[in-house]
Homo-oligomer: A and B are copies of this chain.
């Protein structure tokens, strides 16, 4: 069953706002690539927290999709190219950022947001794009992390945390992370964190402040705003703090900490970035030989068949995962739920 010879495809769509059970199988016409786009036969699709939020609210954010199909990243084979595409041809294997539509046998992606990727490592390819673009956007484009600096990543074993830790090391910076268990701290160190802090330990804030006496240059906070004041106390003079979520109660701003070291604070969301900005991020990554995408290791929490996407969402919303959850779509033998592997 190769979708390129079919006029329809199977997909999972959001039937209505609700829990994981509203993710339902459906059949839709095979999409066609517009100029600059690729049609990809999806082998694996990545699952993101965004997908759960999209499902809960039934937000249909890409009007070009035939239905409300989630999925922001895929790995698979190019089966058709839109006009004007250069650098890719049918038969190439890629991983790419998608604007929804990943939970399907075929997905349209912007050729400017795709990278050549080894077919043998397909599953990791579906776990990479969102974490890679997010890590690069935040550490390089926004926070301008420099060699010799220290970055603290709150959420070290999240999909983004795992890649951001490695990106920081490649940049010549020191990566410290916070994680919710000692086991996750150990995983984070395996991925290159030089220091880790268990945020459920009783001396969490005190031990971080003691360790950060010289000041932390960049803080990437994947956990929300709950550490707003703590982060101000940890930051170095002219430090940069980037928040990826508004979860948690920040409480009143600590004015003394806010004024103390002239720290820059911002929020960041990859998805609403203009297409041209995302394309520039991809071009910058492609030019950075030191990045060596193939050498980035991914932590795969678990793999679910496409038809069991609801189980993937349950796992995501349990908060117990470490690393990425992926959906096996066109992969032979993708019929078992697999947990905790590293690729």
Contacts and interface: CB of A to CB of B under 8 A. Distances in A.
Interface in A23-60: none
Given A228-B253, A252-B252, A253-B250, A269 B259 contact: yes
Contact of A264 (B247, B251, B259, B265): B265
Contacts of A253: 225, 228, 250-251, 253
A256 interface: yes
Contacts of A245: 259
Given A262-B267, A264-B264, A246 B256 contact: yes
Interface in A178-198: none
A253 B250 CA distance: 6
Contacts of A263: 266-267
A243 interface: yes
A251 B252 CA distance: 4
Interface string A195-232: 00000000000000000000000000000110010000
A213 to B, nearest CB: 18
Interface string A134-165: 00000000000000000000000000000000
A246 B264 contact: no
Interface residues of A, number: 26
Contacts of A249: 252
A10 interface: no
Contact of A258 (B243, B255, B260): B243
Nearest to A239: B266
Nearest to A237: B272
Interface string A260-302: 1011111111000000000000000000000000000000000
A128 to B, nearest CB: 23
A67 to B, nearest CB: 28
A250 B252 contact: yes
Contacts of A246: 255-256, 258-259
Contacts of A248: 255
B267 A225 contact: no
Given A249-B252, A252-B252, A258 B264 contact: no
Given A249-B252, A252-B251, A225 B266 contact: no
B269 A262 contact: yes
Nearest to A256: B246
Contact of A243 (B247, B259, B266): B259
Contacts of A247: 255
B264 A266 contact: yes
6 contacts: A224-B255, A252-B252, A253-B253, A263-B266, A263-B267, A264-B266
Nearest to A246: B255
Given A228-B253, A249-B252, A252-B251, A265 B262 contact: no
A342 to B, nearest CB: 32
